[in-house]
Amino acid sequence: MTTTPVANHPNIFTHRSPPSTSSSPALLFLNRTNFIPYFSTSKRNCVNCNGWRTRCSVAKDYTAPPSEVDGGGSGNHFSELDCVVVGGGISGLCIAKVISANYPNLMVTEARDRAGGNITTVERDGYLWEEGPNSFQPSDPMLTMAVDCGLKDDLVLGDPDAPRFVLWEGKLRPVPAKPTDLPFFDLMSIPGKLRAGFGAIGLRPSPPGYEESVEQFVRRNLGDEVFERLIEPFCSGVYAGDPSKLSMKAAFGKVWKLEQTGGSIIGGTFKAIKERSSTPKPPRDPRLPTPKGQTVGSFRKGLRMLPDAICARLGSKVKLSWKLSSITKSEKGGYRLIYETPEGVVSLQSRSIVMTIPSYVASNILRPLSVGAADALSSFYYPPVAAVTLSYPQEAIRDDRVVDGELKGFGQLHPRSQGVETLGTIYSSSLFPNRAPNGRVLLLNYIGGATNTEILSKTESQLVEAVDRDLRKMLIKPKAQDPLVTGVRVWPQAIPQFLVGHLDTLGTAKAALSNNGLDGLFLGGNYVSGVALGRCVEGAYEIASEVTGFLSQYAYK
């Protein structure tokens, strides 16, 4: 693999990779959730891409034996399947993996020539970095999927004590990691802390009679400082979104529900704790590791190990470079899917379908079946995001950011009010082992989002310059040497925005499918389950349960 000099930066190189996520809830968000956790599949190519591809080597294209060919008509025809999962991203692969335990007669189809969606791990010259999602919260569903795929020994977990920082008034300020830190951290003033505390126990304006944005909910419940210094940068770093437009109910439903059920955030928390303690928990799977504290996870060779492992288990059930042309209802029940494949036109017959492709792609395919569903799905917004991965020598880090001779921590978030363009930075080489050569620091930076769509008009060199300029304001010494650029990836349509009305619109799409008699056609993916990688895996179990429930009823019709 070659490196290409970036214009105006003779010492900078970029990898051109292929196109293919008990304290105050505000603080809990920053402690428990990773930055920019998941990206949706994009049909547009990265600018200046040289067309390099990573192919899942274990997922070979499948050719039907003669017994499976239905000799009628033109093209290739396969016997009836129980399920076709459209989209080979992490949602689709995990859904298929779960369903296949009971219904192995299924297929996963992916239009691109590799599985895994926008999970994009790159390894070169002693560096290993991510250009899509960067990590996951190690929930039990996520750990179960990893263990079931044989990756238990490859799991790597970040230091639960690694600090998170927020840029405020020119200084990177730590976010409290535990309740005992609350009185001492300097990100908020004493009046701001008091306002948040009183609001959390219910001394705040009552909920309005309409769906609130994240900004409206947080300002009303916890005050302006919590919003401006914690939640606004969090929304920028996780959703690449505008919190004045994001729906609290859709984007942060668990916290929204606390107020609904308990009359206040703290009241709802106590009620939830009481309900959990009164309900016996099923025994935890003894195979699962027990993470310590609030941390994030990955794998020894990066996130790509998960889709590769799932592909290895699904084998020939995964079809690459299969582009879905149309879906029609079959007269004998189920659905007929027509694909353009390297082997020609292929027709599939299936009892059920799960659409895990981006909503705007699903909209075009489903329009002949349901205009209402198509219109609803086409309304979801995906802003652009760029992932810029830079490496600096250890001595380039500012002295006040070095602890025991190293840069330590998870990363940093940047409020839009602080005069920097970069959304946030992850300390990749500090978070997980073996991500950079000795003496080097690897930083994954995100730029763009709903409030900065202008990145699409910038060159790779301009993106690098913007990120480097921002880092020198807070983390890198102003006169440090130019960075080594390991990767620049532009995602023109990155993360679906859970805007006010999102759940209603999603409900409209599902209802339209049902009203048009499209039983057995399911919607999945990050615009359904949530944008975090771990949430996509959790959602895969939920959707797989719906599909298996449908298939079990189908057998008796």
> CATH no. for residue 434?
3.90.660.20
Domain membership of residue 23 (yes or no) is no
Strand partners, 442: 391
Same domain, 340 and 254: no
- Tell me what pLDDT residue 557 has: 53
| Residue 190 and residue 102 in one domain | no
Tokens of 438: 């000795």
Look at residue 65 in the predicted model and tell me its pLDDT: 35
The C-alpha atoms of residue 435 and residue 212 are separated, in whole angstroms, by: 41
Q: Which of these, 191, 225, 219, 224, lies nearest to 205 by C-alpha position?
A: 219
Whether residue 421 is found in the same domain as residue 546: no
Same domain, 210 and 109: no
β-pairing, 422-427 vs 440-448, is antiparallel
Is 503 part of any domain?
A: yes
Using the 3D structure, point to which of 494, 518, 538 is the last residue of a domain.
494
In a domain, 474, yes or no: yes
Q: Do 260 and 398 sit in the same domain of this protein?
A: no
Q: What is the pLDDT of residue 554?
A: 67
| Number of C-beta neighbours around residue 3 at 10 A | 15
Do 161 and 203 have their domain in common? no
Instruction: Please provide residue 250's backbone torsions phi and psi, each rounded to the nearest 5 degrees.
Output: -85, -40
| Phi, psi dihedral angles at 458 (to 5 degrees) | -95, 150
In terms of domains, do 267 and 345 share one? Answer: no
What token pair was written down for 107? Answer: 């297929």
DSSP state of 337: E
Q: Are residues 428 and 318 in the same domain?
A: no
Pick the last residue of a domain from 494, 528, 545: 494
pTM of the model: 0.87
240 appears as a binding residue in the annotation? no
Q: Contact at 8 Å (CB) between 108 and 92? A: yes
- Residues 518-537 as b/e (b if ≥16 CB within 10 A, e otherwise) read bebbbbbbbbbbbbbbbbbb
Q: What is the pLDDT of residue 20?
A: 35
Residues of the chain falling short of pLDDT 50: 1-75
Residue 254: how many CB atoms within 10 A of its CB? 10
What total of structural domains would you count in the chain?
3
The predicted pLDDT at position 70 comes to: 35
- The pLDDT score that the predictor gives to residue 358 is 98
Q: Looking at the domain assignment, is residue 15 inside a domain? A: no
The answer to whether residue 24 is domain-embedded is: no
Identify whether 190 is part of a domain: yes
Instruction: Identify the domain boundary among 494, 518, 542.
Output: 494
Cα–Cα distance between 554 and 550 in angstroms, integer? 6
- CA-CA-CA-CA dihedral for 213, 90, 350, 517, to nearest 10: 0
pLDDT number for residue 279: 87
**419 lies in which domain range?**
135-140+149-177+293-302+383-494
Q: Is 111 annotated as a binding residue?
A: yes
Task: Please list the residues that pair with 69 across neighbouring strands.
Answer: none
- The answer to the question of whether 544 is labelled as a binding residue is no
Q: Which residues contact 541 (CB under 8 A, 6 or more apart)?
A: 94, 98, 141
- Beta strands 323-329 and 335-341: pairing type? antiparallel
404 and 359 assigned to the same domain? no
Please check whether residues 458 and 333 belong to one and the same domain: no
- pLDDT value for 76: 55
How far apart are alpha carbons 303 and 364 in whole angstroms? Answer: 30
Residue 481 to residue 492: CA distance in whole angstroms: 30
Q: Any idea what the CATH number is for the domain that residue 96 is in?
A: 3.50.50.60
| pLDDT for the residue 117 | 94
56 lies in some domain: no
Assess whether 482 and 517 both reside in one domain: no
Pair 480, 403 in one domain: yes
The answer to the question of residue 271 being in a domain is: yes
